Structure 1
Amino acid sequence: MSFKIKILKKINFNNPILIEGLPGIGNVGKITLDYIVDSLNAQAFLEIYSHKFPNSVFVNEDNLIDLPRITFYYKKIKEKEFIFLGGDVQPVDEIGSYEFCHEVLKLFKKFNGKKIITLAGIGLPKIPNNPKVYATGNSKEIMKFFNDKRINNEIFGTVGPIIGVTGLLIGLAKEYEIDAICLLSQTFGHPNYLGIKGARELLKVLDSKFKFDLDFGSLEKEIKEIEKEIKNKTQEITGFTQVKPNQEVSYIG
């Protein structure tokens, strides 16, 4: 079994748009996708399980075990149909990533899909105050489709390879005659950092384009809480580094 597809609900699609957001740099794509799915109350209709995913399990809110999976969600908004592709994992190696992307593209082709949007972060050495959004795609048509003044299309030399499902989907989509674009937002490149600010900028672009009518209130509150936590940690670290030689240091551990 390379991939096990579990259909939760059958849907007759009409030219849906696929938006992908999986774990990556700053988890920008995942945060963005999860926020949209929760805000729109999108309905899960398909799950993919695979030996290509990490050899681990997750403990859910009921204190029970879940196998790693990637989920497809559906929502129709203002006569447009959307498929949201999200989850807590990506395939663990290069071959698995290619095979998974081909599986997704075959499914999307069956769903009569024509456009794919993937979401990602650009890792920076410092936390950006005002993250910029960049875009790259597999056709000039899809780049024109996202004609937004907030998006910088001059991406050459700004980012290196776009790794994993997020990059491969837009690259391989051309083989399936599907237009695809990747939206990337700047974030802090630390593995433990949550790129909520970067996600907010992607949400603004998507909300403006597709009229999702998202409520940014809870997101802004979360940003302030994280910024406060970072500030407190920074002050603690600064305090330790400024200790004089004759001062005692109190610590546990």
Structure 2
Amino acid sequence: MAMWNIEFTGKIPKLKNPVFIEGLPGIGNVGKLAVDFLIEEIKAKKIAEFTSFSFPHSVFINENNLVELPVIEVYYKKFKNKKKDLLILAGDVQPIDEESCYEFSNKVLEMANEFECSEIVTLGGIAMKTEPKNPGVFCTGNNKELITAYQKSIKTLNNDLYGVVGPIIGVSGVLLGLAGRKNMKAVSLLAETYGHPMYLGVKGTREILKILNKRFNLKLNFKTIDKEMDAINGDFSQAQLSPADLQRTKAIKKLRKSCNDVNYIG
């Protein structure tokens, strides 16, 4: 069996009724982009890093022409008011095979249980044959009451997935199933996006962020987010960021710096 270790990077915080949000690379990288934007926008702090020999056997080349191992990290955000705190799972990769995916997901749920998370939210994309102009977002999960609560607060959500959406592959899906076995409430938000492997589902990402913003009253600055998303889609960003770089968690920080340095972007 593969071994998954959690290395905490500092003092473990006391969180108030936290929600666990997962977003790893997948279709259109919708989930990954969403949590990367979220982490930057709310200034979440890193709390832990997962290490394992079940990562893909590769390294990334960074902007300094040095190699970096892929990472999966956990961030947290404490709020001063009555809002729920957040735990956010972000990273460059997914586990390499089915067994390691299950083992990793189980480890994630152990962490969520230790922090007494009130719900788990996984993020991902639904592959479409063409690029959707106005992507819809589907909602499913392991608890009808939680799904209904999302629908009541966000009227645009679609929960009619049967016969439309195929299996949810990877951590985003396995977390839902395993959480159900542990009596942990979990939902998945899946945005429509173009199913090309090199496509970045920016529009779908924005729709998911809008839902998270409303559900958890995050007060995200969408003017800033839209500017950075325009940079991702624009020729300038494509010249500055390689396809491999766009897979990296640090890509959003690089885009943010680029947007601030060049005022004609967006």
Q: Distance in 1 between matches of 2:85 and 2:67?
A: 32
Shift of 1:59: 3.0
Gaps of 5+ in 2: 236-266
Q: What do the CA deviations read for 1:123-164 (whole angstroms, capped 9, x no partner)?
A: 101000000010001011211221210101111111100000
1:52-63 correspondence to structure 2 within 5 Å: 52-63=54-65
Residue 82 of structure 1 pairs with residue 86 of structure 2: yes
Deviation at 1:224, TM superposition (A): 4.2
- C-alpha distance in 1 between matches for 2:62 and 2:17: 34
Verify: 1:125 aligned to 2:129, yes or no.
yes
Tell me what 2:149 maps to: 145
2:35 corresponds to 1:29: no
Match of 2:47 among 28, 42, 45: 45
Q: 1:223 to 1:5 in 2, by over 3 A?
A: closer
Q: Which amino acid aligns with 2:166?
A: G
Residue correspondence of structure 1 range 146-161 to structure 2 within 5 A: 146-147=150-151, 148-161=154-167
Q: Deviations over 1:212-245 (max 9, x none)?
A: 111122432344456565xxxxxxxxxxxxxxxx
The residue identity in structure 2 corresponding to 1:136 is T
Match of 2:5 in 1: 4
Question: Structure 1: which 5+ residue stretches go unaligned?
Answer: 230-253
Assess if the C-alpha contact under 8 Å between 1:135 and 1:151 holds in 2. Answer: yes
Cα distance in 1 between the residues matched to 2:13 and 2:125: 31
Letter matched to residue 213 of structure 2: D
* Structure-2 residue corresponding to 1:162: 168
Amino acid at match of 1:192: M
Q: TM-score, normalised on structure 2?
A: 0.82
State whether residues 50 and 69 of structure 1, in contact with CA within 8 Å, keep that contact through their aligned partners in structure 2.
Answer: no
Q: Secondary structure at the match of 1:146?
A: helix
Match of 2:241 in 1: none
Distance 1:64 1:184 in 2: 35
Which of these two proteins has the greater Rg computed from alpha carbons? 1
Instruction: Label 1:36 to 1:226 Cα distance change in 2 as closer, same or farther (>3 A).
Output: closer
Contact 2:28 2:200 in 1 (8 A): yes
Deviation (angstroms), 1:65: 3.0
TM normalised by structure 1 equals 0.86
> What amino acid maps onto 1:196 in structure 2?
V
CA distance in 1: counterparts of 2:69 and 2:234, whole angstroms: 34
* Structure 1 SS opposite 2:78: strand
Amino acid at match of 1:4: N
The one-letter amino acid of 1:2's match is: M
Matched, 1:69 2:75: no
Does the Cα contact within 8 Å between 1:119 and 1:183 map onto a contact in 2? yes
Alignment of 1:79-228 (within 5 A): 79=82, 80-147=84-151, 148-224=154-230
Cα distance in 1 for residues equivalent to 2:226 and 2:208? 14
Matched position secondary structure for 1:193: coil
1:228–1:64 Cα change, 3 Å: closer
Write the deviation string for residues 25-58 of structure 1: whole angstroms up to 9, x where unpaired.
0000001110000001100000001111111122
Q: 8 Å contact 2:15–2:78 — kept in the other structure?
A: no
2-structure distance, mates of 1:137, 1:196: 23
User: Counterpart of 1:188 in structure 2: which amino acid?
Assistant: Y
